[in-house]
Amino acid sequence: MAEGKTTQYLKYAIGEIVLLVIGILIALQINNWNEQQKLTAKRQEILIGMTKDLKQDIASHDRMIAIYKNRLEFFGRQLQTTDFSSTSVDTLFIIFDASTGAHKVVDRSYQKAKNIGIVQVCEDDSLSKRIDQYYTQTAEYTKILFEYEFHMTQKQNDFWMASQEGLEFDFGSSVQIPIMQDSTERRMNAVALITSPLGRNHIKSECMIKEMMLGYNMRAKETAQTLLKDLEAYLEK
């Protein structure tokens, strides 16, 4: 400065500041790029996980559809007659087995998506809305329906197995307890129950519920398949 080089030093200082600012901006840009890459990878991970979850849902729906179809087909084969004289006792007792299965929407990846925002995970607004609807509305309705069916199945089993004094059941326990009721009496009482108005009403009620659940599972499966197809197409872009 004593030599009159103030301007030169100021230019140097300004240059240093400019370089420092440029360095900070570049560092921020690299950091933002890295964060964006992490977010993109996280999005991909969640969406790929969601496709796996949907495939599990579809497989579960297939399993439930098979259960309902088999039960309804059994009723169709065995209950189109009013004469059960040639029907085996074992077949008669299958009528009393009001069993069911269980289905729960797999939402592990959706729960992860909620933590960062479903819109942030899927940039397609229409698709993200459908994903949200599937895991909120469909999942909730699924829960309600299966709870209802489980409750009604319990009532059916209470009627068939707990309220019939004239029938001795084999509950399939590992403890071998022999049936002591006379086979002729057992058959006669089973047929009487199946042909009674109360018994037939219980059978018709189960048919109605199984048909409702079959229809719902087929529709829910189709919804899951469509969502899966569109989600896979989105991931391929």
88-117: buried (b, 16+ CB within 10 Å) or exposed (e) per residue?
Answer: eeeebbebbebebeebebbbebbeebeeee
Q: Which token pair is 177?
A: 């307890």
Least confident of 33-42, 68-77, 109-118: 33-42
Higher pLDDT: 127 or 37? It is 127
The whole-number pLDDT of residue 208 equals 95
Q: Which token pair is 222?
A: 């189709």
**pLDDT tens, position by position, 134-181:** 999 998 899 999 999 999 998 998 888 877 788 888 877 788 888 888
Place of tokens 């109360």: 198
**pLDDT tens, position by position, 57-78:** 999 999 999 999 999 999 999 9
Q: Quick check: 190 and 97 in contact, CB under 8 A?
A: no
**pLDDT tens, position by position, 22-37:** 878 887 777 667 666 6
The whole-number pLDDT of residue 14 equals 79
The whole-number pLDDT of residue 4 equals 56
